[in-house]
Structure 1
């Protein structure tokens, strides 16, 4: 650490009262954050299904499903759609189903002969032919219904692959309907808190709304103590997401079995004994990542997909490390770039299921580590061949 960095950290500690402006946000309780379900698509569908059900314990009655139906009816542009007949239905007659024939949420009234099919897409994309398959299934499953409406629910109301049939609906419209439903309803304190927390979670995590006052205070603190905060961010890793909990747990299990080398600290990366033998760690933390290691196996999650990468760092290598890195690049069938900082040699992907998300995530981590081992074996064998050539 340089003298300038030491001074920056000291100044930050002496001005620690600058953080008091964040107190009102720091103590803000949210049930969904505590349960770590804010980023789980299937859980959002479960909550919505509970809120839609007019006969459930939330005591809103049909207020939410009715307000949702009103918005849906206004967006329906079909010429044969009867708005008044639809809105005069008995919404207490609706039953709500989850994952009915793989359809996320189904609102069904046998009495009114109406079904509303909702496909909920928050972080995952639309699969090929998925909506067409749901449409065909619904015609069989709900053949007695004279009215079937199809809703494509996304954070921003994006169109589906078939916007003529599937009505686009946004989470902003969902929250508007929910806020309207609870405005004039006397709710039990625990239900009121749950719905308040859910609305806050959707606004922050799905709709990505920005709290301008919070942003202003954070920017003021950051601009004042930029160097100190940069040092803190670079040297602390904290991730309380369900993904981090599962991934780190599996990596720790594999490390305990002696299959990988895992340092923990909430990181999604590991090394192996065989690769360490080829690329031994630096004596000082001067690698491309600011660690002793000049390579990493690391995980990345985007949407409904988990990816494992094998990546080399190109900084501060001695002659032997540089030669072995070059051999690995050749063994992977890639062309070396002059002066590279990072060089990815391998990746493998696994699609995550939303039906049992945690189990799918756990199994995917193990499967990807196995794929990395298989690739590592091939690379090391090829390196030996190149040495002999």
Structure 2
């Protein structure tokens, strides 16, 4: 961002002082929703837990088997080939004997109604995509398990998605599709049904859940209005908002890193942690790069940074870098923090090869064992060679939103 692009004080005041449109957007974003507060709105496994509760006829929602019948019959309405059970069969059935299981043999939701002789494998894809052969494997396993137990069940698969996506073609007509939009319509109808006795706290929870789904599925009319307003605000206050995004955005990862390394660091700043000195390089919302000062000194220290040709625009501009990187699991809750170190793109290949050999000797002298590089790391033309890359240099994070540093 050039000096010409920098917003002045008047631009900030125009954006933030008594701006009714901004207040409207802020109020919308700050709606209380416990699912959003706990950061579970994008966690597929949490949606499966809520759906298991809604589908279970003996649970505390008060719907009896109404939601289950509506869910299954709506899915079966979309079957291209008429098979048993049909949507009408399910809509008229008594499903109060249904059993709901979660994550058994990796099946998201498994519904059986022994009295009707039916079984349904439900694969839930809120944001993630199906894996090759996944749907067929789950259905085959469910059929095999029933056969081993001597049960005669008619199995069907339901592929539940947030947006339009067809089941893998290798499952043929064994799977039918259902969208979260259908769940919204079903729940809206049940909530409006005067014959359904729903406790106030259940009604409140379901309204929160409906808000989450409608936001994600693009069904929330208020959200659409806010998106239009947000675009207008951005066009009007582009300089200010771009400046804030570039210099003010933080995540749980960056806040946790700052609690360890310190905040407002600039390139080249040194920090001490547990008696060791580190030079700060750069960070993003999921990476934090640095160099141990004990490495920087043999590389020429502060005064000879420009001697490393080829690395002028690479990380810290030295031929070596370390960084932490956070990888989140698909459920958005757990993750893994990994430590990497890498030799960079030195133009002088003889220097690069000498550096790699030196790293190996230093590790051996320190009793750290053999350092593993790629087989081609010392060959002409190699550019990037990690040497701290095994999963042993990582820790499991049970909750990526927990800022506590141990």
Q: Same fold (TM over 0.5)?
A: yes
Instruction: Give distance in 1, aligned partners of 2:182 and 2:224.
Output: 22
Kindly indicate whether residue 194 of structure 2 is the aligned counterpart of residue 221 of structure 1.
no
Instruction: Give distance in 2, aligned partners of 1:127 and 1:325.
Output: 41
Shift of 1:279: 9.8
| Alpha-carbon spacing, 1:129–1:34, altered in 2? closer, same or farther (3 Å) | same
Normalising by structure 1, report the TM-score: 0.69
| Alpha-carbon spacing, 1:358–1:225, altered in 2? closer, same or farther (3 Å) | closer
The 5-angstrom pairing of residues 235-384 of structure 1 reads 235-239=247-251, 244=252, 249=256, 267-274=285-292, 277=296, 319-320=306-307, 323-325=310-312, 352=329, 354=331, 358-359=333-334, 361=335, 364-365=336-337, 368-369=338-339, 372-373=340-341, 375-376=342-343, 383=352
Instruction: Give distance in 2, aligned partners of 1:221 and 1:327.
Output: 36
Instruction: Give distance in 1, aligned partners of 2:23 and 2:325.
Output: 45
Instruction: Give distance in 2, aligned partners of 1:66 and 1:37.
Output: 27
Kindly indicate whether residue 71 of structure 2 is the aligned counterpart of residue 62 of structure 1.
no
| Alpha-carbon spacing, 1:238–1:205, altered in 2? closer, same or farther (3 Å) | farther
Shift of 1:190: 1.6
What is residue 392 of structure 2 aligned with on the other side?
Answer: none
1:49/1:96 contact within 8 Å kept: yes
Q: SS where residue 108 of structure 1 aligns? A: strand
2:73/2:91 contact within 8 Å kept: yes
What is residue 184 of structure 2 aligned with on the other side?
Answer: 175
| Alpha-carbon spacing, 1:37–1:22, altered in 2? closer, same or farther (3 Å) | same
1:159/1:168 contact within 8 Å kept: yes
Shift of 1:263: 9.5
Q: SS where residue 157 of structure 1 aligns? A: coil
Kindly indicate whether residue 152 of structure 2 is the aligned counterpart of residue 145 of structure 1.
yes
What is residue 335 of structure 1 aligned with on the other side?
Answer: none
Kindly indicate whether residue 123 of structure 2 is the aligned counterpart of residue 119 of structure 1.
yes
Instruction: Give distance in 1, aligned partners of 2:175 and 2:77.
Output: 14
1:60/1:182 contact within 8 Å kept: no
| Alpha-carbon spacing, 1:216–1:9, altered in 2? closer, same or farther (3 Å) | same
Kindly indicate whether residue 201 of structure 2 is the aligned counterpart of residue 193 of structure 1.
no
| Alpha-carbon spacing, 1:14–1:49, altered in 2? closer, same or farther (3 Å) | closer
Q: SS where residue 229 of structure 1 aligns? A: helix
What is residue 362 of structure 2 aligned with on the other side?
Answer: none
What is residue 231 of structure 1 aligned with on the other side?
Answer: 243
Instruction: Give distance in 2, aligned partners of 1:120 and 1:66.
Output: 18
RMSD: 4.4
The 5-angstrom pairing of residues 39-188 of structure 1 reads 39-83=42-86, 84-143=88-147, 144-161=151-168, 162-164=170-172, 165-184=174-193, 185-188=196-199
| Alpha-carbon spacing, 1:251–1:148, altered in 2? closer, same or farther (3 Å) | farther
Instruction: Give distance in 2, aligned partners of 1:226 and 1:131.
Output: 46
| Alpha-carbon spacing, 1:132–1:249, altered in 2? closer, same or farther (3 Å) | farther
Alignment deviations for residues 146-187 of structure 1 (CA, whole Å, 9 cap, x no partner)? 321101111123112135222122111222222222221332
Q: Specify the structure having the higher radius of gyration (Cα).
A: 2
2:211/2:220 contact within 8 Å kept: no
What is residue 32 of structure 2 aligned with on the other side?
Answer: 29
| Alpha-carbon spacing, 1:157–1:216, altered in 2? closer, same or farther (3 Å) | closer
Alignment deviations for residues 299-348 of structure 1 (CA, whole Å, 9 cap, x no partner)? xxxxxxxxxxxxxxxxxx9844655448999x89xxxxxxxxxxxxx999
Instruction: Give distance in 2, aligned partners of 1:91 and 1:208.
Output: 30
Number of residue equivalences: 329
Any stretches of 5+ residues in structure 1 without a counterpart? 283-316, 333-345
What is residue 292 of structure 1 aligned with on the other side?
Answer: none
Instruction: Give distance in 1, aligned partners of 2:300 and 2:13.
Output: 38
Q: SS where residue 271 of structure 1 aligns? A: strand
Any stretches of 5+ residues in structure 2 without a counterpart? 262-271, 359-379, 381-406
Instruction: Give distance in 2, aligned partners of 1:262 and 1:112.
Output: 65
Q: SS where residue 178 of structure 2 aligns? A: strand
